[in-house]
Amino acid sequence: MTGSTPKGGIDPVGIGPDGIPEYRIEGAWTLPVKGPAVPRLGPGLVESLRTVTAATASATLHQMGITKTFIQGPRSNKPGRRIIGRAVTLQLMPMREDIYSDAGVTQEYVERATALWAVLDFIEPGDVLVVQAHGSLRSGVVGEMLATHLQNRGGLGLVADGGIRDSSKLDQLDVPIWSLGPTPHYASQGELLPWGYHVPVAVGGTLVLPGDLIVADDDGAVVVPVAKAAAVAEAGASHEAWEDFSRAKLALGGALRRYYPLDDVGRAEYEEWEAAGRPPLSA
C-alpha cells in the first residue's frame, strides 16, 4: 500500500519503550486507551501449572464456582501445542465516524497510532496476547509482520475471537495462535478499530483481566484468574496424576465405573501405585 502517514488528528506523544515515537488519535475520544501496567506473576506460578491442561483448568475452576472460563470459538493453528502464560489484553471496538473517519489508502498506516501497535511493544517473554474482536472475521487481528514482532518479544502466543491474515505464513512462525480463522482484512479494514490495551476484555464470552493466566491447547483456551492459579495448580496436578492411573487401567480393560472417576477401591489402588513409584501396570 502506498502513501504517507496522515497528520490530521494524529499527534506524537513521546517515545515508546523501544525508542520509537508513540502517537495518539485525537477526536471525540483520545486513543489509544491505556490501562495500568500489567501485574507481574509470582515466582513459580506458571511452572506450577505445567501439567494442567485446559480441560483440567476449566473443570477445576468450575468446581470452585467460577463457571465462565472457556474462551469460546478460537481454535489453534498448531495442533499439539500447549501454552501457559500471562494475559496481556487488547480491545477492539466498533468504528464510529466522530472517533475516526479516515479510510481507504491511509487507514492501514494510521493503525500505527492505535492500541494494536502500542500493546505489542509491551509484550514480555512468557506473555499471551488476548484480543477482543467481537467474533468478527472482517478484522484481521494480526498478520505476518505483527506476529513476527510478537515472537521476537518473547510472546508465547495469541488468543483472539477474530480473524488472522497471512495465515499460511503465520503457520511457519513458532507462535501458536487461537483464532476464528483466516481473513484477508487488516485490523481496521472492517467495522472495528484497535481501541485500548491493558484493559479488561470480553473474548469469546469470557472476561479476561490483564495479568490473568491463559492455559490453551487443542481443547481451546481457558482463563485462570491469577488469585485462583495456585489452587488450580495444586488440584489440577492431583487430577492429572490420578487420570494417568485411570488411563492405564482402562487401556488394560479395567472397569469404567471403578477407574473413571475413581471409586473407593480404585482410589486405594491409585494411592498404592503412587506410593510404589508408579510401576508398570498389568492386567
In this prediction, residue 259 carries a pLDDT of 93
Q: Encode pLDDT of 207-236 as tens digits.
A: 999 999 999 999 999 999 999 999 999 998
Rounded Cα gap, residues 180 and 46, in angstroms: 26
Q: How confident is the model at residue 126 (pLDDT cuts 50, 70, 90)?
A: very high
Res 165 pLDDT > 50: yes
User: Contact 213/46 with Cβ under 8 angstroms?
Assistant: yes
Mean pLDDT of the chain: 89
Q: With bands split at pLDDT 50, 70 and 90, how would you rate the model's confidence at 58? A: very high
* Other beta carbons within 10 Å of 256: 10
Q: Residue 142: phi, psi to the nearest 5?
A: -140, 160
Rounded Cα–Cα distance for residues 133 and 135 (Å): 6
Check residue 6 and give its pLDDT: 38
Average pLDDT over residues 6-26: 62
* Highest-confidence segment of 27-41, 55-69, 96-110: 55-69
